[in-house]
Amino acid sequence: MAECSICDDSNREPDPTVSRRDFVKSVGAAALATGLPLIGSGGRRAFAADVPGPTPKAPAETGVARFYKTLSDEQKKLICFPFDHVKRSEVQNNWAIVKPSIGEMSKEQQALCTEIFKNLCSEEGYERFQKQMEEDAGGFKNYHVAVFGEPGGETPFEWVLTGRHNTIRADGNSVEGVAFGGPIFYGHDPTGGGNDDAKHSGNVWWYQGEQANKIFKSLDDKQQAKALLEKGDPDAPRSIQLKGEKLGAVGLGVAELDGQQKEMVQKLLKDLTSPFRAFDVAEVQECLTAAGGVDKLRLTYYKEGDIGKDGVWDIWKLEGPAFSWYFHGSPHVHTWVNIARPTTSTTAKG
């Protein structure tokens, strides 16, 4: 499997100083300035029945607790960390959060990791991830997992899976006010050569790009001119820092769309969240509602990276005060996601 130039230098343990500087620090500054919760902060656990999202008793989280119990002392030294460790906040397109791979664990532990991950996905999403992981990395066994905190008790915890084109989390709502337990990433390079064709043939995530482009085609000339910019944000974690009231008027506001176009945006949101479990989808919806709803979102498309020069925009972003979903589909799909609930107070550590 060939590695592309934007994926080939991250499949290693991240430098904690780079992590803190390039992601946690930049996101944290924006969060503190706008009253948004810090992604990766050790917030209180939100287990109240009326709070959307997973709990420690959700299927994935109970799997994490059982997985943790199977780990030997030696394994814990390699893959377990305190809950507030800087690695827990990291999100990258291609990295090993720890050195051991899932394939180096016992058969029972491999099965538990599979169970956890399957329970983080919808049925359709799990099938897409399976195909993506097989084509990008040779299968699930070549990915990596780390555990933060101590699952199965009353203290915060998080299980993080990483590897080529994935950073996915299970936290039982240990990180309060944050969807997915923190920033996530998903992507796909179906050709193995780094370059999708203009139709993104075989890319399991391009259906999301198709819906975004349907919205663009429905816009009138003035709306298209407002929505379309020349150059996109960096294909990097800092592109999804939450801006709060400093979001500005870049791109086209969903509030400016007509009823049919707003329904298309709702369809896009459904497509974006459909790979994930219902618990996380509910928390995304709650965070979005708390930040003012869909009308607070803005759609931006970028001419840069137009594969085939066909006017089908491969790079686009759906963004709000506490919502950032950045689909960077050139030269292949990289998707960065960061969603939180606005709050008047912030608990920060580190």
Q: Kindly state whether residue 139 falls inside one of the protein's structural domains.
A: yes
On the question of pLDDT at 346 being above 70, the answer is: no
Of the candidates 69, 70, 65, the one whose C-alpha atom is nearest the C-alpha of residue 54 is 65
223 shares a domain with 181? no
On the question of pLDDT at 30 being above 70, the answer is: no
User: How is the chain split among helix, strand and coil, in percent rounded to 5?
Assistant: 40, 15, 45
Q: Kindly state whether residue 11 falls inside one of the protein's structural domains.
A: no
248 shares a domain with 151? no
| DSSP assignment letter at 22 | I
Q: Kindly state whether residue 6 falls inside one of the protein's structural domains.
A: no
Q: Kindly state whether residue 197 falls inside one of the protein's structural domains.
A: no
On the question of pLDDT at 156 being above 80, the answer is: yes
211 shares a domain with 132? no
pLDDT in tens, 187-214: 999 999 999 999 999 999 999 999 999 9
Task: Give the pLDDT of residue 6.
Answer: 62
pLDDT in tens, 173-185: 999 899 999 999 9
On the question of pLDDT at 166 being above 70, the answer is: yes
298 shares a domain with 166? no
Cis peptide upstream of residue 52 (ω within 30 degrees of 0):
no
105 shares a domain with 156? yes
Least confident of 25-34, 103-112, 216-225, 238-247: 25-34
Task: Give the pLDDT of residue 48.
Answer: 46
Domain termination residue (choose one: 139, 158, 188): 188
244 shares a domain with 145? no
Q: Kindly state whether residue 91 falls inside one of the protein's structural domains.
A: yes
Number of domains in the chain: 2
154 shares a domain with 26? yes
Task: Give the pLDDT of residue 44.
Answer: 39
Task: Give the pLDDT of residue 298.
Answer: 97
Phi then psi for residue 301, to 5 deg, are -115, 155
145 shares a domain with 233? no
Dump the DSSP string for 261-305.
HHHHHHHHHHHHHTTB-HHHHHHHHHHHHHTT-GGG-EEEEESTT
147 shares a domain with 74? yes
What range does the domain containing 276 cover?
206-339
157 shares a domain with 86? yes
Q: Kindly state whether residue 193 falls inside one of the protein's structural domains.
A: no
Q: Kindly state whether residue 296 falls inside one of the protein's structural domains.
A: yes
Q: Is residue 343 very low, low, confident or very high in pLDDT (cuts 50, 70, 90)?
A: low
Q: Is the pTM value of this prediction over 0.85?
A: yes
Task: Give the pLDDT of residue 94.
Answer: 97
Q: Is residue 350 very low, low, confident or very high in pLDDT (cuts 50, 70, 90)?
A: very low
Domain termination residue (choose one: 157, 188, 219): 188
On the question of pLDDT at 18 being above 50, the answer is: no
pLDDT in tens, 215-234: 999 999 999 999 999 999 99
Dump the DSSP string for 80-113.
EE-TT-GGGG---SB--SSSS-GGGS-HHHHHHH
170 shares a domain with 77? yes
240 shares a domain with 333? yes
What whole-number distance in Å separates Cα of residue 116 and Cα of residue 222? 47
Per DSSP, the three-state class of 137 is helix
Q: Kindly state whether residue 349 falls inside one of the protein's structural domains.
A: no
Domain termination residue (choose one: 153, 188, 223): 188
Least confident of 13-22, 144-153, 226-235: 13-22
